[in-house]
Chains A and B, each alone.
Chain A
Amino acid sequence: MASTAEKPVSGSSGVEPRDSQPPPRSNPWRRPWALEGFTWLYILWSIVPIAIAVLFSFNKGASQATWQGFSTKWYVGSQVTSVLHNPSLHHAVIQTLILGGLTTLICVPIGVGFAIGIDRWRTRTASGLNFVLIFSFVIPELLLAVALFLLVTQALTFIHLGTPAEVAGLVVWNLSWPAIIVRARLISIGRSYEEAAADLGASRLGAIRRVLLPMLMPAIFASAVLVFASTVDDFVIVEQLSSTANTQPMSVLIYSNVHGGLSGPALNALATIMLLISLIVAVIGFVAYRWLTRGERTEGGTEALTGIAGI
């Protein structure tokens, strides 16, 4: 009896003497100190370098290593080397935004159509295309970039290097995002809503327009955010397919100037802007996704989708 009296009944009191529960290893509710510590180490490891890079974009001096006081000269102040006033720097920002916008606008509708086609058409063609979709995930980006370079310089010469080729390449590379995310949503939605729409008198196109598209909106939006963010981050494809300095987005400019040329905190400022764009898009995506799926919290599938989207 004495031994049972010593054991605290779970939930009976807030102050449970955890350590006194022998043996501690077998207690499944013990706090996972080791795992937690390791997780925090990992987070620090990945955030600290970024934080330092961001910090030095506000350096007063031209050093990327010694702190010389706070200033915003690398963003707006300097007439020569600030992002605002240096043509090649602010051109890179604009080029990144153009590529992101165009790629999203072209890629998402194609991807949505692709997903609907693969999932709602039950044919051999559809299953073949599904394979192609997965294939684009495993193919190395560099391989695709070089292949696209050869394609547009040798065969499809009407697609000029520069913005057209960059957009074409980014669309191909990012097509899997909307296709896979929208397809996941299509599967979780099921066919019953389209059947209900058809039953109430809608044609197949009508059912897609009036029922399926509104229900796919969260997924479409999530994939648009991902495509945009991934385009902002992209380097390999745009590096291969850009032509003049005018068509270099931020990633390419940073890479080509890191060892010489326009080095210094201005590059940090550019990188910070790039980071900020990605962050803003991610936040917009998260908030809008929550808003679009409000009232769906209990339904399975959507939470998983948030997980896939990483937002």
Chain B
Amino acid sequence: MSGGNVKLESLTKRFDEVAAVDDISLEIQAGEFFSLLGPSGCGKTTTLRMVAGFEPPSTGKILLDGDDVAKLPPNRRDVNTVFQSYALFPFLTVAENVAFGMKYKSVPKAQLKTRVAEALEMVQLSGYEQRRPNQLSGGQQQRVALARALVLRPSVLLLDEPLGALDAKLRRALQVELAALQKQVGITFLYVTHDQEEALTMSDRLAVMNHGKVAQLGTPEDVYNEPADAYVADFLGVSNLMDARVKPGGQSTGCCRLQMGEFTLEANAGELNATGAVKLAIRPERINVEPYETVGANRVPGMVERLVFLGSTTHVYVRLATGSTLQTLVRNDGAELPYGQGTAVSVSIPADALRVLPDPGVSVGEIHDETTGEELLDLSGTRSA
């Protein structure tokens, strides 16, 4: 596949003066699996629809292999879309659906059949040619939608929450398949999702979006391990956020000394040059729960508030002496946990896992209310403000 480089330059879309997409600039390399991740209303789908040609941008450029396609109608762009609703034509068979776009590609009749067959084989639906979409399951319909787009060999494939309507197990299976398929065909994938797990498992790079802007751009490892701000830390999986202050003169190379309540903590990651009020972020899996009064640096006493058994792990919620609650993750290795609800414990927060993030100017609770919608209810419900 030649080409497939997408470059967005100051792309903006306003609906009645409200900027749904606000001055986005980013470049997607040819052959890359790139995700736009964010809650509903963050502008990710609008961005995708502008690249597809369904929405004209208010300002800005969409460069496809160097050519600005912002003014071209969808049928004259070398991109194809897999819709969230699949949008399979119900009155056509699977084979006719897949062949729909070939009519505009001047492909010889003999080749047409082979290419349709190849595309269906690629999505493991050989033998389903004569079925109608309504005779297929949701996952199968999704595969037909994929085949219908891929058979045209576009330089970029746009996917708008394609797994959104499927159940969790099927979604996991298709995630793996989709990522493998992308490597196989080598087409640039621009993938829109609100599911952080999807974005992390499949993408080469991803952009976390918030209020029409890109909050952070990077590899999954980057954005997960080194979130640029509290919003990203919060959106990408469960993250414990705490309010703290940098101690006067607490900054030194590779280390930052902080005051959280009456306790002093050291952090080795994030904005180590920050001053004043900051947010502290730590992933649940990096926290250790130890017996009460264990001595050492970066330890805060607390009390086990709640245990939630999840199978392979147990979530332990610990209320710290400073008032905030931390969610920690303990692997179930067969041994019984040495603490239960109400047990006094000591929480060890390793300095290298503790990130200092710039204070967005709002309390931790407000970050939730403002930026993550109901889609993340499961996360916000498990953490206290």
Residues of chain B touching chain A, judged by Cβ–Cβ distance below 8 Å, are 52-54, 73-75, 79-81, 83, 85, 87-91, 100-101, 103-105, 132, 134-135, 148-149, 152
- For residue A300, CB closer than 8 A to chain B, the reply is no
Given contacts A199-B52, A199-B79, A214-B91, 8 further A-B contacts (CB under 8 A): A192-B85, A195-B83, A195-B87, A200-B149, A201-B103, A201-B152, A204-B73, A295-B132
Contact B74 A199 (CB under 8 A): yes
CB–CB B134/A296 < 8 A = yes
Q: Is the CB of A192 within 8 A of B87?
A: yes
B81 touches A196 (CB 8 A): yes
Residues on A with beta carbons closer than 8 Å to the beta carbon of B134: 295-296, 298
A201 to B90, CA, bound (A): 18
Q: Find A215's partner among B53, B90, B100, B152 (CB 8 Å cutoff).
A: B90
| Residues of chain B contacted by A195 (CB below 8 angstroms) | 52, 54, 74, 81, 83, 87
If the complex has contacts A195-B74, A296-B134, are A200 and B91 also in contact, measured as CB distance less than 8 A? no
Query: Within the complex, which residue of A192, A203, A295, A296 is in contact with B75, where a contact is CB–CB below 8 Å?
Result: A203
Chain A residues with CB below 8 A from B80, complex form: 199-200
Residues B83 and A201 in contact, CB atoms below 8 Å apart:
no
A157-197 contacts to B, CB under 8 A, are 192-193, 195-197
Q: Are B148 and A200 in contact (CB under 8 A)?
A: yes
| Chain B positions within 8 Å of A298 at CB level | 134
Within 8 Å by CB of A200, from B85, B101, B132, lies: B101
Is A211 interfacial (CB-CB < 8 Å)? yes
Task: List 7 tightest A-B contacts by C-beta distance, closest first.
Answer: A200-B101, A201-B104, A196-B87, A198-B74, A192-B87, A295-B134, A199-B81
A202 CB-CB contact with B under 8 Å: yes
A-B contact pairs, 23 of them (CB 8 A): A192-B85, A195-B52, A195-B81, A195-B83, A196-B87, A196-B89, A197-B89, A199-B52, A199-B74, A199-B75, A199-B80, A199-B81, A200-B100, A200-B104, A200-B148, A201-B75, A201-B104, A202-B75, A202-B104, A206-B75, A210-B100, A215-B89, A295-B134
Question: How long is the Cα–Cα vector from A195 to B148 in the complex, in angstroms?
Answer: 14
Query: Which chain B residues border A196 with CB–CB below 8 Å?
Result: 81, 83, 87-89
In the bound complex, CA of A298 to CA of B90 (Å): 13
- Contact A295–B52 (Cβ < 8 Å): no
What is the distance, in angstroms, from A243's C-beta to the closest C-beta of chain B? Answer: 45
Q: Within the assembled complex, what's the spacing in Å between the Cα atoms of A193 and B90?
A: 10
**Chain A residues near B52 (CB, 8 Å)?**
195, 199
Chain A residues, CB < 8 A from B104: 200-202
Asked if A215 and B91 sit within 8 Å, CB to CB, the answer is yes
Given the complex of chains A and B, what is the CA–CA distance between A83 and B88 in angstroms? 52
Given A200-B80, A200-B148, A201-B104, A193:B87 Cβ within 8 A: yes
Q: Which residue of B lies closest to A196 (CB)?
A: B87
Task: Known contacts A195-B54, A211-B89, A296-B90; decide if A201 and B73 are in contact (CB<8 Å).
Answer: no
Closest to B148 in A: A200
Docked CA distance A198–B79 (Å): 11
Chain A window 198-224, contacts with chain B (Cβ cutoff 8 Å), 1 for yes, 0 for no: 111111101000110011000000000
Query: For residue B74, which residues in chain A have a CB less than 8 angstroms away from its CB?
Result: 195, 198-199
B104 → chain A, closest Cβ, in Å?
A: 3
Name A191's closest neighbour in chain B (CB-CB).
B54
- What's the nearest-Cβ distance from chain A to residue B275, in Å? 50
Q: Which residues of B contact A199 (CB under 8 A)?
A: 52-54, 74-75, 79-81, 149
Residues of A within 8 A of B54 (CB): 195, 198-199
Within 8 A of B (CB), among A265-311: 295-296, 298
Residues on B with C-beta less than 8 A from A206 are 75
**Chain B residues whose CB sits within 8 angstroms of the CB of A295 once the complex forms:** 90, 132, 134-135
Which partner residue on chain B sits nearest A194 by CB separation? B87
A192 to B54, CA, bound (A): 10
Which of A192, A193, A201 makes the CB contact (< 8 A) with B105?
A: A201
Which residues of chain A are within 8 angstroms of B101 by Cβ–Cβ distance? 200-202
Bound-state Cα–Cα, A301 to B103, Å: 31
List of A residues within 8 angstroms of B105 by Cβ: 201
Distance from B47 Cβ to chain A, minimum over Cβ atoms (Å):
16
Q: Could you tell me if B73 and A198 are in contact, using CB atoms closer than 8 angstroms? A: yes
Residues of A within 8 A of B90 (CB): 215, 295-296
B75 contacts A193, C-beta separation under 8 Å: no
Report B-chain residues with C-beta under 8 Å of the C-beta of A202: 75, 101, 104
Which residues of the partner chain B approach A296 to less than 8 Å between Cβ atoms? 90, 134
CA distance A229 to B73 in the complex (A): 42
Q: Nearest A residue to B76 by beta-carbon distance? A: A201
Report chain A residues within 8 Å CB of B85.
Answer: 192
